[in-house]
Each structure stands twice: as structure tokens, then as C-alpha cells.
């Protein structure tokens, strides 16, 4: 029996049990933060602007919190920055995620690798 690795996926839910945040959105927000643009971030993640925008909007609704602050038109055509709340969420989620990763790895080795 060839078990090689345990994998996991985590996400956050609101009171109604709906997904509000996960790895995809986290990466998207991080890229928006570094490029100052939704479209650049989406491109970088090989997803369409349409999809990126839709996911963010849905999350904002479900969190009942604004994550982005956008500007249309202007010198570079426009742009987007993260709200302070979005920044805090990303930071805390990153810590949460890495600690879960560590735990999963440890528990996999402990319980499932040949004894």
C-alpha cells in the first residue's frame, strides 16, 4: 500500500454555512495588493477578470465587509487597493493556513506511515 502524502483544503464559513474565504481568494487579494489592479492580478493567476471580480464580490456580500477600494479611469486607467480589513484577514489566514499545514503533515506521519 503506497501512501505518499496527506493533502488538505481549508476554508472559512459564515453563519449561514457559506464559504467566505479560502486559498484562491487569498492569493487573488495578495496579487491585487502587489499590482494595484484586479485585471493584472487575474491575468497572473490565469483566470479571467470576470471570474476574479465575481468571486470577490460574492465574498464581500457573504462577509458583509468591503475588501477592495477601486477607482475607475485615471492615469493608469484605474486601480484597486485592499481595505485594511482585507489586509488583516489575509495576514491571519496565512498564519492559520501554515499552522494547519504543519499539523496535517505531523499527524499524517504519526498515524499513517508504516509502523
State the residues that interact with its own copies by CB under 8 A.
1-15, 17, 20-21, 63-65, 85, 89, 92-93, 95-96, 99-100, 103-104, 107-108, 110-112
Rounded to the nearest whole angstrom, what is the least distance from the CB of residue 107 to DNA in the complex?
25
61 binds, among DNA, its own copies, none (CB under 5 to 8 A by kind): none
Rounded to the nearest whole angstrom, what is the least distance from the CB of residue 49 to its own copies in the complex?
25
Query: Judged by CB, which is closer to DNA: 6, or 58?
Result: 58
Q: How far apart are CA 68 and CA 104, in angstroms?
A: 32
Name, in order, each residue with C-beta under 8 angstroms of 10's C-beta and a sequence gap of 6 or more: 22, 23, 96, 97, 100
The answer to whether residue 26 forms part of the interface with DNA (CB under 7 A) is no
Strands 68-72 and 19-22: unpaired
Phi-psi region of 74 (alpha: psi -120 to 50; beta: other; left: phi over 0): left
Closest Cα to residue 21, out of 70, 51, 69, 62? 62
Residues that bind DNA (CB under 7 A): 37-40, 47-51, 53-54, 57, 68, 70-80
Amino acid at each position: 500500500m503506497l501512501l505518499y502524502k496527506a493533502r488538505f483544503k481549508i476554508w472559512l464559513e459564515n453563519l449561514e454555512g457559506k464559504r467566505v474565504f479560502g486559498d484562491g481568494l487569498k492569493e487573488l487579494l495578495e496579487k491585487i495588493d502587489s499590482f494595484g489592479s484586479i485585471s493584472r492580478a487575474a491575468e497572473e493567476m490565469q483566470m479571467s477578470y470576470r471570474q476574479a471580480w465575481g468571486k470577490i464580490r460574492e465574498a464581500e456580500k457573504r462577509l458583509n465587509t468591503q475588501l477592495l477600494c477601486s477607482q475607475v479611469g485615471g492615469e493608469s486607467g484605474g486601480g484597486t487597493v485592499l481595505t485594511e480589513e482585507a489586509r488583516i484577514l489575509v495576514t491571519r489566514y496565512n498564519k492559520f493556513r501554515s499552522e494547519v499545514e504543519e499539523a496535517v503533515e505531523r499527524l499524517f506521519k504519526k498515524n499513517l506511515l508504516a509502523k
